[in-house]
Amino acid sequence: MPIETIHLFDSATLAQLDEKNLLSDRRDVKYVFPKQIAEDVLERCRCYYNVLDINGIRAFGYHTAYYDTPDLRFYKEHHRGKLSRAKVRVRKYLDSNQSFVELKIKNNKDKTIKSRVAGDHVGVAADMILEQAGINAEALIESMTIQYKRITLVHKTKSEKLTLDFEMLMKHNESEVGFPELCFAEVKTEAHQSTDFCMIMKKLKIREGSMSKYCLGIVGLHPEIKKNNFKLPLGRIYKTQANEAF
């Protein structure tokens, strides 16, 4: 876990994060790289980004429960590349003990629309889920949980934020899959543009490409499930993990 370098960053507040206005309508670019180079990556980010700091905490614990239909409709829609698709989750922020039901819609313009309601079970957001995703919350069951640590960086001047996720562990019933050697990065911005983080990745010869944590977890927890369309990002993730394990 990269701890030392994040304490050298200038700090950003939640209010400053909200000013970037990236929570509800954004474009995402994803990367995966070995955690052993995370300190180098963060050092390169210092002149462009501030780090979210809440009461002196800069690396936050997350616990998220994902919900799907019994036949994993949301996963299957993502796998086949459906242009308008949804994810439903209950996210708990471990450091503040706050929970939110979150609905993410990827629309046919490749934009992610995220809505949320305070609460710790999907029923409190039933109206939102029905209206925006067209599905009854009562038809959803918990399909997996995931825990990880997150560092959030906020660009000093642009409407852009960056999340770096570490120590990832997915579980469902008695099964679990983890990626302790990897960092999953996601740039969130309002438009397709060459972000400073993307330029840093290019200099380090790290190519764009990962996959959603939900789909990655479902594939790991259900080895028999159809996953042909995820062959390239899965290959990159597993290869990076294998290289770091030896």
In this prediction the pTM is: 0.88
**pLDDT of 108:** 78
102: phi > 0 → left, psi -120 to 50 → alpha, else beta; which?
beta
| Percent of the residues in the chain that have a pLDDT greater than 90, as a whole number | 69
User: What is the phi/psi pair of residue 109, to 5°?
Assistant: -105, 15
Of 143, 145, 149, 142, nearest to 170 by C-alpha is 145
Once rounded to an integer, what is the mean pLDDT over residues 11-37? 79
| Rounded CA separation 113/110 (Å) | 10
Tell me the average pLDDT of the chain: 89
Q: Judge contact between 115 and 132, C-beta under 8 A.
A: yes
pLDDT above 80: residue 112: no
> Which amino acid makes up residue 223?
P
pLDDT above 60: residue 2: no
**pLDDT of 23:** 47
Instruction: Walk me through the domains of the chain, giving residue ranges and CATH numbers.
Output: 5-245 (2.40.320.10)
Of 220, 230, 29, nearest to 110 by C-alpha is 29
Confidence of residue 111 (pLDDT cuts 50, 70, 90): confident
Of 125, 134, 54, 135, nearest to 90 by C-alpha is 125
Contacts 24+ apart (CB under 8 A), 103-108: 103/128, 103/129, 103/132, 103/133, 105/132, 105/133, 107/83, 108/83, 108/84
Confidence of residue 114 (pLDDT cuts 50, 70, 90): confident
Question: How many residues are recorded in the chain?
Answer: 246
Cα four-point dihedral sign 70, 75, 77, 79: negative
